[in-house]
Every structure is written in structure tokens, then in C-alpha cells.
Structure 1
């Protein structure tokens, strides 16, 4: 190995919790050469993100500390550097892309201002030069018509576009080292493929080194030269990507590599099975208003004339990129947003029912959202969160009866019922998603919409949640609509698939047929991007 650009030596990270100190990273050492990509892999809580944040001293000090260790960038110890020296390195020599762009982008500043700020501070560019550079960067990361996005605020663009803006900011000063912390987790498969290709091209052109933090082993195989596997704050195995995938030595590495989802799709429901939900010619159009009097000048056709049937006991997968209308379709099906067209649930026409008339159907129609951070109240205990629906829909139930139902729901999703007195922040991402599933199940619904329920989870946890959902479906005869951009998860879960693009269905049919012989060019593109491990 050539002289390393970055050398982490015997790094330890501790967090003060009350009167005690908890070690999150224990004696980690690795080096990154110029132009090399090193992957840090491991499940949530393994210490990989904490290690990466330590490089630029971005941890919450003084609650966090480094009892020992060095982080040498071009020979300079960043752990001992003053703030002025760190400012020179941050964003200029070493840049970082974070997993959740909404927590990293300022909601009060436009896209142009946020990227221009980096160029102004580190490169001294004037307004006109900065604008030209911003447009080049936005175009480079695949944002269409970038000049129309300059004045947009983060909340006005999609999750995938926000992540691309984060990448543009990180690459603005052409850093020597890019630390990418789960940079493609929330992106569609086609966008993910584009971003990974973009990063490799930029790396080759700039000679940039990368530390790539991910739980997606397909990305590791495609992107990394070397891999460090982390568990409980320690590196348990390291080696070249090729050697590690071919012959893993440590039991934990073997477990990670075996946590792949099944390639065999479940069978489609029989044609004579009961129809749980029938949607006919559903439209969700959002008006575009302009001018002083806010006249309607057009519509965004989020869902445009969609018809679909969901049969009892089956899982229907809905796939497509961000903006294809899949989540909007799910929300409209549950009457959570206004729409036109027919929605028939268990033989009952729902479209003309008001909110009060809809209430009796709510217990049978439940939803699990993508982000358990956002959908679980931080001020309520897990027990209260799960019991909340029972208080609305089963008012005759005693406090003891409610508690028994909560205990049963937690047991069903594989969580210790004793944890019901704790709060959501005390659980991992996978455990929070199980809590969200328990909240939906406690009402014993017939129909469940699962909106990207595994997108933010580690590969091994994804496999656990898929197994959990299949087991619950088999035991209770549940009917699922599974919305996702992760086609591997959809193949493992769904008997039938609906492919959406631009608010319309472009292809649908049994999962096995769609995956083996996709007929529409868009489906072919999706599958090529999703199933290519490089």
C-alpha cells in the first residue's frame, strides 16, 4: 500500500451516559490510500458511523470523547487539531455525505445558497461564478433542469433529489477524501445506480479516496477495493473485497453474507380468491397555481387513472421510482388524501363516505410507514403508542385488556413485552419498525399497506422483517400492499407486482413473470439497475 491519505490508529470513542462511560468504538485501526475505496460494513450499532464522524470530529462533544487513538490526515492528527485547522480540512480536504439529507440541509435556505456557501468559504468564488459551478454540480449529480431548482427549498424537492444535492455539496470543492455514510439508502434503484456510477467516475477523474459506509453488500462488491467488517465497535475482519466475499473467515461476516433475501417469488393469489380492495380509474391530481389570484394553470398528475385489484391473503407489490405515484396511490386507497375514482373495500364503496363514516373501516385498514423515527411519537411510551388505536376503535376494552393486547402484539413481532414502558429513541431502527408493525397489528386488521418498511434497515434486519411479515401473513391471513423501490425485497414478498411510472401503471402481473420476462422498457431498466451487483 502507498503512503496513506488517512490513517486511523487505535481509535476509541466513548459516550458519557449519566455517571458512566460507554465505549462505542474500541481500538479501531485502518488506512486509506489516495484513490482507494474502503468499505465499512456492519449492522446498526456496530460503530461504523461513529468511526466516520470521528474523522472530522463531528460527534457531540463533550458527551463524546476519544480516550485514545489518532486520526492522521496527510500526517496531521485531526483529533489534536484546533478549530481553525479543522475548518480548513472539513468540506475542502475531506467531505461527508450523510444518510438523511433533511437533517443535513438547512430548511430555511435555498438549494443555491447552501451549495454556494461551500464554494464561497473554501474557494472564494463570487456570486456569478458560484452560480455557474452550482449548475454544473447539480447537472453532474443528475438533477433535471437544474436552473429551475436553484430557488427551491429542501422540502420542495423529493428525497432522492435532496440526497443528490447533498452529494453536490460534498463534491463542490473536489475533496481528497469523501466519506459516504449510507448515501444511497433512500434512493430508487435506477438513481442509486446513477449515483454509484457518478461517484466512481468522479473518483477516477479526481483521484479521490472514499470511505463507503453501507449495509448493502451488493454496493460493497461493486464499489470497494477493501472491506472492514465491524461488530460491537470493533473490526472483526478485513481484507480485499474479492477475498472477503469468496472466503469470509469470521462467523459474523459469514452471517452478514448469508442474510440475502430469497430469489424465489411467492405464488400469486388465485383468481377466485375474495377481492379485498378494488380500485378503478383512480386519479390524484394536485393543482398548480400561479399569479396574483392563484389561478390553476395545470395539474401534477400524481396518480392518473390507475385500476388495480388486491385479493385476500396475497401480497401485491407496487414498485417505481420516486415521484411515480406509488405512495400517493397507497394513501388514496386508505382515503388519507382526496382522490377521484372508485375504491371498493370488502364490497363497500368508500369514495363517498365522510371521515365519520370511514371510522368503522379504519381498524381493518392499517398502514406501516417508511420512517419509524417520524411515525412514532417520541413523547409516548411504546405501550401507549401501540394501545392508542385500541382506545379509539375498542373503547369497551379495560386497561388490563388493552395491556394484554399490547403484550401479544409485541410478542408477535419478536420484541420483549417488558420493553413496552420504554420510549422509541431507546430502540434500534429495526426494533422501531417492529413497533410500527405491532401498532398496526394490534387492531387485527384484514388489510395492511406497507410503505417502504425496510428501506432504512440493514440487510440482515431486512431479511428478519420480511420473514416476520410472511409469518404474520400466514398465521392471520393478512392481505398486504407492499410499496417499495427495493426490487429484491419485493421479489421476496410479493406474488404479484404493479410497476408505476409517471402516475400510471406501465406493467403488472405475477412477480416471477415480471422478473424473468419484463415487457416494458421501464421495467427492464428498473430490474437491470436493481439486480446488477457490478
Structure 2
């Protein structure tokens, strides 16, 4: 499409009556007699066939605004002190249940951020997609089955006949998200609301999903409300953008205009909030902390009445690793490539074969009991900063738990001082240590996770997707924090991620994994600037240019 065609299309949309329009919308939540405003008098509209992006960090009011469009907030705790939302001229906020049933899933559909929690784990793919068709279209079983197959094929799931009877846990993250899209598109909605639909996906799958949404939009003419904190995605998919912070829309306009000439300070902050900087200078003279040779993790496949082993899933298949003091080794690849399994094997948290040495000492054959003295020197920070923190423990107890195990001689006061110092070091106010995880933001929870690891003064830290669940600006802050801690304490990092921008900001060396094997390895500069394999080139294209990925190179 030429610039002239684009201009004509935008002009036509501007003249058309809005499909969805929010006027002076406010959303408030009341709990224990206290009312807080989540959205404060915002207004926006979406024309037929248009994509509007709502952009902002966690807590800005994006998702609350979108859920209001189909009246899915937890009423009566939620209320609308002002405003209205008009869909085809009808006020959704005052619509009765019959009208809402007609709209939801039929004229307006939603794709949620985490497909694993949105899909029913007890129902097959066929049943979940067909349910939409039976409820809204009254289709028979045979007609619904045929339509489900058509939808699965349309969203790019290979061999859909074999996936009909699959359960969500049997699908990859990208496949589950494609099933969610199939459900959303089943009744050919006029408006699709996509709430962070690619946040948890690999860069290659993310590029495929974005291209799929654009293709489907072009074929069906549906409008789309796209919610994200990633401005790179906005540039790829949206026509117009509304920037939100603190429940308000602070800037709105065409995507090119917002990106090229942002007016509001918060918009400029978002555009600049990308992990920057460089890792420490590579130094091969630094002592080796972790070294591994020919590491294999094979999971047996057992079948038959006697449960005999008939094959193996080769999650990690003969990999060599070297991590030096004060240096970072990045492990990249798609979900299922074996990244986390390799990290857990190096920590001796799962069984493996091969040779693993920690500070020159063989640890491959050590028992769990013999490994215990080394645990304080080998720490891990997990991906989900909420799921990895006990909701029943205060932050002081969470961070200090390891001290009680590895430093039993510390008094309570000494332990408390160490906890406070660790929290201060990661940029948190030590006076908040008696609060619980739910009282902190996602970025703060991840800092707590880092403090829990650092309080033991480790020598080796495995960082398993530590920034993937965070906003862009918080990602940049956490990357700066990790780099600073590494420089201060000479830490050796194993950094596992599918976000190559973050890896580039942290890693000295990179290993690219696919299906349990290394497809490329070398210095970060060599791998990022001059990738040799087609697979690595596809990863780089998806991460840095958000191009369409060749399905023959990167497959589901």
C-alpha cells in the first residue's frame, strides 16, 4: 500500500461513524469502603477497520478501559462515575444482559495476555472453539467441527485435525495463543480487543502472531483495540495510538506522528525506555566459575502396558558451557528449545549426564546433600516475580529465608540488617520489608527476587527470563540493576531469555539453542552483528525489525 493509499484510507475512516467510542469515561474501584479511581475521564474512538493502540505501563488503566467496553469488570466493586461507551451507537454500560450476550464474543471478541489461564485445561481445543459457534450461531456438532478446522487452519496451526483433541497443556505458547485467536474470530466480530496478546511469546512467534492479526484484519475488515506496553509492536500494527498513564490519556494521534514527534514527557519517556548500555568488557583471563561438557538431559518416552521406554525427548543434547567471573553468558532460543532445562542442569536441580564443574570442582555426581553447601553460591531468579514469591510470607521473611539456612549462626538482628541492606542495594525502601508481595508492583517484586538471591552473596546466578513480565521502562531499570550488581560483586550470570534486546545489553557471549542443540555460539557482537545460520538470522529479524518470519526456518 502506498502512502497515498494510506492517506485515503485514513481519511475514509475519519469520515465514517465510530464503531466504538468512549466519552469522558471514568472507572473506580471500591474496597473496604475506600474508592480509588483507575481511569479518569478518557475519550477515544475506533473506526471500522482501524487499529487503535492503548499504550502505557502496568497500572495505567489500559486493560480496565478495554474490559469496560464489554462490561467485564468485577461489578459492583467497579463503577463508572462518569462517561459512556458507545458500540454502534448503543451505550454498553447501560445495556441489559440480553444485549451484552449478543455483543460479547459475537460482535466484540477478546484475546487475553496469558492463554494458559484463559483456556480451560479440562476441555479440548475442539470443544472450546466450537462452544463459541454453538452459543452464538446455534451450529450442529458437524458444522461446528468443520468451522473449527477452518479456523485452526486460518490461524496457522499445522495439521489441525491432529490438534482437535489436544488439551491446552499439550500445545506450545504460540499454539495456545493461536487457539485463543481462533476462538475470538469464530463469529467474525466487528471489533477485536487484544490485551497484551504477544507479551509472553518468543520474538519469532510474536512476529508471526502480529502478521497473522494484520492478515486476518485485512481479510475480515474488523477493527482492533490493541493493548500493549511495547512501542515496537505499536509501530508495527497500529494506525493510531493513545498513550495512558495514571488513568489518563496524555497523548493521542497517528502512530508516525507520535513516534516522530512526541509532545508529552511521558511519551518521550516510553520511547526512550529500552534496555541500553553494554555488558562488561569480555575478559578471558577471568577465572571460570561454571564449566560443562557434553551436558545431556533426555526424558524417556514410555508406552505400553509395561511402560517400556520407546524413545527419548532430547531437551538438552550435548552442550558445552563456560561462564566466567564478572561475565554473562546469554542463552537464547524459542520456548521448548531447552534453555531453562540447561540452566537447571548446571545448577544440579535436575538430573543430567556429562561433566559439570563449579570453581574447578566436579559436581555432576554429587548428591543433593553434598550440593547443599554450594547452594548459597549458586542462585536463581525466576521469570514470574509473583509466582516465585510466597504470598503468605513478608518480604523480610522471603529475603531472609536463605540466610536462616546457610548462615544459621546469625542473630535475628544481624539477619534483619542483612535483609535491609539487600533491599536497599536493589533500590527498594528497607522500611517496606514487612509488607507482602501483593503490595508491590511487578518491577518491585522482581527486585525482591533479585535481593533474595543477592543476600547470600553468590558467585553464580541463573537469570531465567527475569524481565519478560515487566514493562519496558522497568525492564531497562532491572537491566541496569543487574549490570551494576555484576560489576560490584564480580558475579557470573547465565542469562536465559527470548528477548534479544535485553540479551544484547547484558551478555558477553551467546549460545543460540534450538530443539536441545546449539545452532550457533560465540561472542555477543559476532552472533548479533553477523549471524551465520538461517535460524539465528530469523531470530534477529524478528527481534530487531519485527519482520515476518519464514515459517520454514522457525516453525511452530
- Tell me if 1:194 matches 2:194: no
Once the 2 structures are TM-superposed, how far is the Cα of residue 423 of structure 1 from its aligned partner?
1.1
- Counterpart in 2 of 1:232? 246
Cα separation, 2, equivalents of 1:427 and 1:142: 39
Matches within 5 A, 1:420-499: 420-499=433-512
Cα separation, 2, equivalents of 1:161 and 1:306: 28
Match of 1:150 among 156, 160, 164: 164
Matches within 5 A, 1:263-412: 265-266=278-279, 269-412=282-425
Cα separation, 2, equivalents of 1:333 and 1:406: 27
- C-alpha distance after superposition, 1:92-130 (max 9, x if no partner): 111111112222111222222111111211222222222
Once the 2 structures are TM-superposed, how far is the Cα of residue 55 of structure 1 from its aligned partner?
0.8
The alignment partner of 1:45 has SS state of coil
- C-alpha distance after superposition, 1:185-218 (max 9, x if no partner): 1111111110000000000110011111111111
- Structure 2 residue runs without a partner (length 5+): 1-13, 548-556
Match of 2:89 among 75, 81, 85: 75
- Counterpart in 2 of 1:218? 232
Contact 2:280 2:487 in 1 (8 A): no
Deviating more after overlay: 293-302 vs 237-246: 293-302
- Counterpart in 2 of 1:182? 196
Q: TM-score, normalised by structure 2?
A: 0.94
Once the 2 structures are TM-superposed, how far is the Cα of residue 419 of structure 1 from its aligned partner?
1.3
Once the 2 structures are TM-superposed, how far is the Cα of residue 162 of structure 1 from its aligned partner?
2.1
- Counterpart in 2 of 1:133? 147
- Counterpart in 1 of 2:11? none
- Counterpart in 2 of 1:508? 521
Contact 2:329 2:509 in 1 (8 A): yes
Cα separation, 1, equivalents of 2:541 and 2:473: 23
Cα separation, 2, equivalents of 1:82 and 1:293: 58
- C-alpha distance after superposition, 1:253-307 (max 9, x if no partner): 1111111222x64355322221111111111111122223222221111111111
Cα separation, 1, equivalents of 2:321 and 2:250: 48
Cα separation, 2, equivalents of 1:476 and 1:238: 44
> CA separation of 1:464/1:434 partners in 2, compared to 1, >3 Å: closer, same or farther?
same
Deviating more after overlay: 233-242 vs 422-431: 422-431
Cα separation, 2, equivalents of 1:351 and 1:131: 51
Cα separation, 2, equivalents of 1:494 and 1:297: 39
Contact 1:15 1:23 in 2 (8 A): yes
> CA separation of 1:526/1:377 partners in 2, compared to 1, >3 Å: closer, same or farther?
same
Contact 2:279 2:483 in 1 (8 A): no
The alignment partner of 2:399 has SS state of helix
- C-alpha distance after superposition, 1:396-442 (max 9, x if no partner): 11111111111111111111111111111111111111111111111
Cα separation, 2, equivalents of 1:136 and 1:308: 45
The alignment partner of 2:330 has SS state of strand
- Structure 1 residue runs without a partner (length 5+): none
Cα separation, 1, equivalents of 2:281 and 2:291: 16
> CA separation of 1:431/1:510 partners in 2, compared to 1, >3 Å: closer, same or farther?
same
Contact 2:300 2:311 in 1 (8 A): yes
Cα separation, 1, equivalents of 2:311 and 2:147: 32
The alignment partner of 1:363 has SS state of helix
Match of 1:33 among 47, 60, 64: 47
Once the 2 structures are TM-superposed, how far is the Cα of residue 152 of structure 1 from its aligned partner?
2.4
Cα separation, 1, equivalents of 2:126 and 2:307: 26
Cα separation, 2, equivalents of 1:447 and 1:292: 44
Q: TM-score, normalised by structure 1?
A: 0.98
Match of 2:123 among 109, 118, 121: 109
- Tell me if 1:10 matches 2:34: no
Q: How large is the Cα RMSD of the aligned pairs?
A: 1.3
Contact 2:280 2:326 in 1 (8 A): no
- C-alpha distance after superposition, 1:123-162 (max 9, x if no partner): 2222222223223323333333333332222223333332
Contact 1:160 1:186 in 2 (8 A): no
Cα separation, 2, equivalents of 1:172 and 1:219: 24
The alignment partner of 2:323 has SS state of strand
Cα separation, 2, equivalents of 1:200 and 1:51: 23
Cα separation, 1, equivalents of 2:281 and 2:150: 47
Match of 1:528 among 533, 538, 541: 541
- C-alpha distance after superposition, 1:328-386 (max 9, x if no partner): 11111111111111111111211111111110011111111111121111111111111
Cα separation, 2, equivalents of 1:440 and 1:216: 28
